[in-house]
Amino acid sequence: MDFGLNEQQEMMQTLAKDFLAAEYPDKVLKTMVKDEKGYTPGLWKKMQEMNLMGLSLPEQYGGVGDFLDLIVVLEEMGRVCFLSPYFATVALAGAVLIEAATDEQKSPYLTAIAEGKKIFTVAITEKSGKYTPDAIQTKAAAQGTDYLLKGSKLFVPDAQNADYIICAARTSDAQDAVTLFVVPADSSGLTITPLLTIGGDKQAEVVLDNVKVSADNILGGVNYAWPAVEKALQRANTARCAEMVGMAEQALKLTLDYAKERIAFGHPIGAFQAIQHRCADMFIDVESSRFATYQAAWRINSGLPAAKEVTIAKAWVSQASRRVMASAHQVHGAIGFTEDHILHYYTKRARSYEFSFGGADAQLEKLVELYI
């Protein structure tokens, strides 16, 4: 297994790094965190022109590159704490459509994503916060050729920006009887309420009050969507890990720069062994997190079973990211907590992302249950 970047991935990395450096400096991040949408149509259009929207999607629907290309770009986005509906649309909804949709459904939906014309998101989580089929309590009742959806979804990423919400609902009393519906965001009876998040990322509560959805909007078949959801969540968790790796590496860079310039007792604090060892521990956490992430991504990209590797990656990256951010603040001291400094944005966002699609504790429990 060679996890080194090939020529195409190096090109994507450079392209993304240069684009984000020019378009997303710290002042833009601070503005977007406070912005209701968290992105601008102008930036979205530039991403579209760079073919970023099609990353990892099948070529016949306008896609370019593969899953590893997407991981490389998301790591660069993590470095700048990037905000936009990109993850929800390409990494999350794109994965669900790839795994669950029929060929006839993939054509219009994936093409719309690849062309940057529509924003998608996925609504799975409910009040339990779990990513298991029994946690899905939203009901979908058949009514002629339509279904009526009733229930509440929490922590739906970028729902307030979405054109379509892919909603998981229960279609029978059987434990695994989950079905996926593509719901237009402007449907009657659907209410989207933005949530105040610690990381400034855009999440919402989505309430469905007898929302009518055509049976044609069911992805795949009725009652059998959960295996596809699990495979899509493997992709989403790995993609989230890539963002967290980028955040952790940037936190390390900020810490190293500060340790070189902050003077104490007549010397840069980076000259003291305690600081040096703390930075070395941070470096180990960043590098091991990258290895775990790329191992999982490589298996997904190769079409190999990846459930174990993804679970290990999410558990490790979540814990390692927490340690990196804590050490970064220890070295920075009080300045790292001020509004003017950028570090706290990374800390808050990494903490938020840790819990998306199942946090470290959930991943550890899964490892014990399935592999130990």
Q: What is the pLDDT of residue 339?
A: 87
Whole-prediction pTM value? 0.96
Q: What is the pLDDT of residue 95?
A: 98
Q: What is the DSSP letter of 93?
A: I
**Which of 278, 297, 277 shows the shortest CA–CA distance to 289?**
297
Task: Provide the 3-class DSSP secondary structure of residue 164.
Answer: strand
Residue type, 222: V
**Which of 363, 311, 372 shows the shortest CA–CA distance to 130?**
363
Q: What is the pLDDT of residue 4?
A: 80
Rounded distance between C-alpha atoms, residue 169 and residue 136, angstroms = 6
Residue in this structure with the two tokens 């710290």, named with its chain if needed? 26
Reported in sequence order, the residue ranges of 27-129 that DSSP labels E, i.e. its strands, are 120-123
β-bridge mates for residue 330, sequence order: none
The torsion region of residue 358 among left (phi > 0), alpha (psi -120 to 50) and beta comes to left
Q: What is the pLDDT of residue 1?
A: 64
Q: What is the pLDDT of residue 91?
A: 98
Q: How many residues does the structure list for the chain?
A: 372
Residue in this structure with the two tokens 């890990």, named with its chain if needed? 241
Phi, psi (rounded to 5 degrees) for 268: -60, 140
Positions in the chain short of pLDDT 50: none
Cα–Cα distance list, 71 to 152, 242, 286, 314 (Å): 31, 6, 15, 14
Cα–Cα distance list, 213 to 99, 107, 180, 184, 218 (Å): 21, 20, 11, 9, 8
Rounded distance between C-alpha atoms, residue 247 and residue 335, angstroms = 18
Contacts (Cβ under 8 Å, ≥6 apart) of 367: 308, 311, 312, 315
Reported in sequence order, the residue ranges of the chain that DSSP labels E, i.e. its strands, are 120-123, 139-143, 146-157, 164-170, 178-184, 190-195, 203-214, 218-219, 263-264, 267-268
Q: What is the pLDDT of residue 372?
A: 85
Q: What is the pLDDT of residue 175?
A: 87
Rounded distance between C-alpha atoms, residue 350 and residue 200, angstroms = 11
Q: What is the pLDDT of residue 315?
A: 98
Rounded distance between C-alpha atoms, residue 346 and residue 200, angstroms = 10
| Beta carbons of 215 and 146 less than 8 angstroms apart | yes
Residue in this structure with the two tokens 């590159």, named with its chain if needed? 65
Phi, psi (rounded to 5 degrees) for 205: -90, 135
| Beta carbons of 200 and 83 less than 8 angstroms apart | yes
Q: What is the pLDDT of residue 281?
A: 98
| Beta carbons of 135 and 179 less than 8 angstroms apart | no
Task: Provide the 3-class DSSP secondary structure of residue 64.
Answer: strand
β-bridge mates for residue 195, sequence order: 203
Task: Provide the 3-class DSSP secondary structure of residue 204.
Answer: strand
Q: What is the pLDDT of residue 169?
A: 98
